[in-house]
Amino acid sequence: MKSSLILSLLLAAGLSACKPVTPEGGSQSTLPSNQKGADITYQINVYSFADSDGDGYGDIKGITEHLDYLDALGATALWLSPIQTCASYHGYDVLDYSSINPRLGTEADFKELIDKAREKNIDIYMDYVLNHSGRGEWFSSATSSESSPYRSFYVLSDNPTADVAAGRVDNYAGASSPGMGSWHKISGGDVGYKGRLHFSLNWGAKTITVTKSDDSPQSSNPAASKWLWIGSAGAVGLYETSSGLFEITIDVDTDWGFLVRSSLSSWDDGTKWGGDGGSITLGTPFKLNSSTAADITFGGSSTWYFASFDASMPDLNYGPYAKASESEAFKTLAESADKWIRMGVNGLRLDAVMWIYQEQADANASFLAQWYDRCNATYKARGGEGDLYMVGEAFTETARVAPYYKGLPSLFNFSYWWTVKDRIGRAKGNDFARTVLWFRDQYKPYRSNFIDAIKLSNHDEDRTGNDLGRSLPKMKLAGALLLTSPGKPFIYQGEELGYWGEKSRGDEFIRSPMKWTREGRIASGAFGGKIDIGMLGPEISVEAQLEDEDSILRMYKAFARARNTCPALSHGQMAEVTSRIDALALWTMSYGGQTVLVAHNFGNTPVQTALPEYKLTKTVVSNGEYSVKDGTLSLGPFASAVFEQ
Ligand code: MG
């Protein structure tokens, strides 16, 4: 059932008055599923959520077995990490868009999940990767024969520099260089090299000369200003032997060639230097360029492909953006989406939408509108209620996200989380509502009925707990903010348990498995030992936290319940209430004649304020210490309270 319909039922049933939810009645207390009026999505890493068959990997049945947990948490939708057949554990290198990854389950398992979730008023959103595929049968076929039916699916060129200059690379949408990504030589012949080589970089002439060497190999120069980026070794610092001349002799073992970098802190334009499509000849100066910056290879075939991300994920090619829907790749991908939408999927999360046409917002929005219309038509033909939900990942700040609303109904709001952590870090709450309203103002010119997908951290970012110094009170405040802000909140697996984790240690550490019981097994098979055992102790488990009235999990449940039963919180218009205290955020949310006052203390010292114009008698939900006396509200450190008006 759609939340809009639930909302009308709630109002019709006289439930427009918010139900006080603290203290919560018993650890297992749940709201009847048909009374969830909010749009709360829970983001699941399928491979590390719950393992149903004991093979160590999370799977689809594991989710089905935990629907009660997700229902009690107040979820009305689940965004699943990619579940299609793929090469990696994370799933973002899809090999077959129409089949389920056997490690995660079967189509029957997926259908069962959709149906059982539906009984609890929970929608299923699939992660759809449109920017690139994995290197599967399509790629093999496309790159081995010019008559392959998949030849047009990828961005291929025998001379990338010339093709880009002539505007023949549709993927660039008219830009002269990509916002991100590289050209890679298609395997065939010796692309890489193994042996001892001397490198001589002439920075003035922007050439590099590579020769065989019998000299002793040198170690990387730790004080270098120019580096080789080579093989799996990564950065090797060069020595400046005379002005503008950089040299080193090393043992090379690379299966793709190498690049030259003038910065290690950035991959921005102008810091990465490669070739223009040709191979290097030993002993002959090789001209570097930073616009194409293709891998410098040692031979091999003459055809190149473009990849925004890793070489293992070639970009898909949809032709000129204005008629992308006519491309073979679009039609094939859309047919796969049709299959899942007809099965009962109610939403798609689109990965990396900025890179489909290399950061060209208008081109990307045009493409996305075509994709949305196609998928929504299938949804409506299925008899789906309202419109299909679709949210895009444009991983950038609000002003640059906004134009994508020309193409999609919903986009993630990364700035929201960046603002939450910045303001908590600075104990600055009294411009929070203004900032959130400013975000929303940016979207309005592009789509009046935009759905602002607000979030804290996700599977690509340092954990909320990490950025908040593992402070439980701060993590609770962040969760309370998320669930009292306008928009459509997304809760990332583990945030409700107070997980931490740092991306620089490896992506696995920000995708840790759920800890269901104090002593039980976790779905860690995908991670090759990259598990923070110290974090995943007994007390962070769901079992322990359900028993602890003070736990972050209980806080999430209470605030989600408030949002689900209080239309003003879930659907209300936000209005800033002036706060003269730096740390104190105040705003109202109003809907259908109902108003609530929301108060959060962003600081670690108590705050007090007189609020003569507001009623402080009926608490909808609260977190931390608070009290009311003679019209004055006192909030303890990092505390929150919501009052019905
Ligand atoms: Mg399993």
Spatial separation of the C-alpha atoms in residues 568 and 645, rounded to whole Å: 11
CB 194 within 8 A of CB 252: yes
| 525 CA → ligand 1 middle, Å | 9
The residues that bridge with 297 in the sheet, in sequence order, are: 279
| 340 CA → ligand 1 middle, Å | 22
| 97 CA → ligand 1 middle, Å | 21
Instruction: Map tokens 């707990």 to a residue.
Output: 465
CA distances from 506 to 233, 462, 503, 527, 640 (A): 17, 10, 5, 10, 34
| 103 CA → ligand 1 middle, Å | 7
Query: What is the structure's pLDDT at 22?
Result: 45
Q: For 28, which DSSP code?
A: T
> Is a pLDDT exceeding 60 seen at residue 75?
yes
> Is a pLDDT exceeding 70 seen at residue 299?
yes
| 79 CA → ligand 1 middle, Å | 19
Spatial separation of the C-alpha atoms in residues 497 and 82, rounded to whole Å: 23
Query: What is the structure's pLDDT at 454?
Result: 98
Question: Does 214 participate in catalysis according to the annotation?
Answer: no
Query: What is the structure's pLDDT at 195?
Result: 86
Question: Does 547 participate in catalysis according to the annotation?
Answer: no
- Percentage above 90 pLDDT, the chain: 82
- Which residues are within 8 A (CB) of 62 and not within 5 positions of it... i.e. 6 or more apart? 46, 49, 50, 51, 52, 523
Confidence of residue 327 (pLDDT cuts 50, 70, 90): very high
Spatial separation of the C-alpha atoms in residues 358 and 181, rounded to whole Å: 9
Mean pLDDT of the chain: 93
**Residue 132: φ, ψ to 5°:** -150, 165
| 510 CA → ligand 1 middle, Å | 20
Query: Do 153-307 and 573-644 show the same overall fold?
Result: yes
Tens of pLDDT, residue by residue over 177-218, are 888 899 998 876 668 888 899 999 999 999 999 998 989 999
**Residue 199: φ, ψ to 5°:** -110, 135
> Could you give the strand order of the β-sheet that contains 123-128, starting from the edge strand earlier in sequence?
451-454, 410-413, 389-392, 347-350, 123-128, 77-80, 41-44, 490-492
| 113 CA → ligand 1 middle, Å | 15
Please compute the mean of the pLDDT values over residues 550-560 and round it to a whole number: 98
| 224 CA → ligand 1 middle, Å | 47
Query: What is the structure's pLDDT at 19?
Result: 64
Tens of pLDDT, residue by residue over 259-279, are 999 988 877 668 899 988 778
Spatial separation of the C-alpha atoms in residues 254 and 228, rounded to whole Å: 12
Rounded to 10 degrees, the C-alpha dihedral 239/240/244/247 comes to -40
Q: Which of 163, 79, 60, 104 is nearest to 393 (CA)?
A: 79
Ion ligand 1: residues, CB < 5 A: 51, 53, 55, 57, 59
The strand pair at 632-635 and 640-644 is best described as: unpaired
Tens of pLDDT, residue by residue over 515-529, are 999 999 999 999 999
Q: Which of 282, 292, 290 is nearest to 211 (CA)?
A: 282
| 70 CA → ligand 1 middle, Å | 19
**Secondary structure class of 554 (helix, strand, coil):** helix
Tens of pLDDT, residue by residue over 427-471, are 999 999 999 999 999 999 999 999 999 999 999 999 999 999 999
Spatial separation of the C-alpha atoms in residues 277 and 297, rounded to whole Å: 9
Query: What is the structure's pLDDT at 328?
Result: 98
For the chain, the structural domain boundaries read 153-307, 573-644
The strand pair at 245-254 and 239-242 is best described as: antiparallel
| 38 CA → ligand 1 middle, Å | 31
Spatial separation of the C-alpha atoms in residues 172 and 179, rounded to whole Å: 9
Query: What is the structure's pLDDT at 94?
Result: 98
Q: Which of 405, 402, 339, 401 is nearest to 368 (CA)?
A: 405
> Is a pLDDT exceeding 60 seen at residue 604?
yes
* Catalytic residue from among 71, 163, 393, 495: 393
Please compute the mean of the pLDDT values over residues 13-40 and round it to a whole number: 58
> Is a pLDDT exceeding 70 seen at residue 8?
no
| 534 CA → ligand 1 middle, Å | 23
Which stretch of 16-20, 145-149, 313-317, 562-566 has the lowest confidence by average pLDDT?
16-20
Confidence of residue 1 (pLDDT cuts 50, 70, 90): very low
CATH fold, domain 153-307, is Immunoglobulin-like (2.60.40)
Give the class (CATH, top level) of 573-644: mainly beta
Question: What string of H, E and C letters represents the secondary structure of 333-388?
Answer: HHHHHHHHHHHCCCEEEECCHHHCCCCCHHHHHHHHHHHHHHHHHHHHHHCCCCCC
Please compute the mean of the pLDDT values over residues 109-121 and round it to a whole number: 97
> Is a pLDDT exceeding 80 seen at residue 372?
yes
Query: What is the structure's pLDDT at 157?
Result: 93
* Catalytic residue from among 351, 452, 461, 508: 351
Query: What is the structure's pLDDT at 121?
Result: 94
The strand pair at 239-242 and 182-185 is best described as: unpaired
Query: What is the structure's pLDDT at 29?
Result: 44
| 65 CA → ligand 1 middle, Å | 12
Query: What is the structure's pLDDT at 33?
Result: 67
> Is a pLDDT exceeding 80 seen at residue 11?
no
Spatial separation of the C-alpha atoms in residues 508 and 438, rounded to whole Å: 34
